Amino acid sequence: MKTHSPLRAGFDLARAGNFPSVASNVLAALVLSDSAGGGFPAPAVFGGAVLAGCLVYAGGATFNDVFDAGFDAKHRPGRAIPSGVISRGAAGILAGMEMLLGLALLVWLGASPLLAAALAATILAYDWIHKRWLGSVVLMAGCRVFLALTVASLPGHAQLPALNTWVAALFVYIVALSLIARWEYKPGAPAAKLGRAVGQLLAFIPLVDAAALAWVGAWGPALACVIAVPLGKVAQRLAAAT
């Protein structure tokens, strides 16, 4: 994807096309960890957690391009860093600010500092090693899992059985998605077709959330997650998702 402006570069680096699925994950984590019932969380808590989750996601995605700058220069020259829209150093600073702000907001809201640290470590480990280790798909799934668990550690929430079942399903889905994504740049692979498939699978992540919420009778939040699917497809037309 050709990036044309610094603002667009920031959104593309952040993979903002995936923000609706991050918001859906946060909603599912809050509802499935709430022992008081399956209703919508308080707006302030939900809004703060979504903002924090998107900031952490943005930081991790931006760091991904910082670590992959050499690979992208050869295989994806239209991306923000190799095309010269933003320098690698500036992108690294942006990534660090996004991630630190997101993590700080989660902890300020009352999330476990230990889980927040595990989330950051998993993201950075994935960004550093994913091009060299097939097993990094487990780390990719772990990023979403640790975000969910960190959100579920907010005051008044707990790791309930429904939460753990959903987290397991989300983990399997992301591992499968990541394995498909790894084929995109293999010699002879149908890159365009695989890229479209990965984009669709990313947009469909909220359906995993919706299914788990419907299972516990949280129909309102489940519907909100279903709505996140078309919102994700719109977001992917405005900013990069892969």
Residue 132: band (very low, low, confident or very high) from pLDDT cuts 50, 70, 90: confident
Q: 53 versus 37: which is more confidently predicted?
A: 53
The tally of CA atoms less than 13 A away on the side-chain side of residue 193 is 5
Instruction: Check pLDDT > 90 for residue 5.
Output: no
Over residues 42-49, the mean pLDDT reads 97
pLDDT, tens only, 85-130: 999 999 999 999 999 999 999 999 999 999 999 999 999 999 999 9
**Cβ atoms within 10 A of the Cβ of 185, count?**
14
Tokens 């429904």 belong to which residue? 162
Over residues 204-219, the mean pLDDT reads 97
Best CA proximity match to 197, nearest among 214, 179, 182, 180: 180
Q: According to the model, what pLDDT value does residue 4 have?
A: 62
* Mean predicted lDDT score pLDDT of the chain: 93
pLDDT, tens only, 135-150: 999 999 999 999 999 9
Q: According to the model, what pLDDT value does residue 190 have?
A: 74
Instruction: Check pLDDT > 80 for residue 23.
Output: yes
**Confidence (pTM):** 0.94
Over residues 172-193, the mean pLDDT reads 82
Alpha helices, H only, the chain = 6-13, 19-32, 43-67, 69-75, 88-109, 113-129, 136-151, 161-182, 191-203, 205-215, 219-238
What gap in Å lies between CA 165 and CA 60, rounded to an integer? 25
CATH class of the structural domain 6-238: mainly alpha
Please report, as a single letter, which amino acid is at residue 199: G
Domain spans of the chain, in order of start? 6-238
Over residues 211-235, the mean pLDDT reads 97
Q: Report residue 112 as tokens.
A: 């476990």
Over residues 41-66, the mean pLDDT reads 98
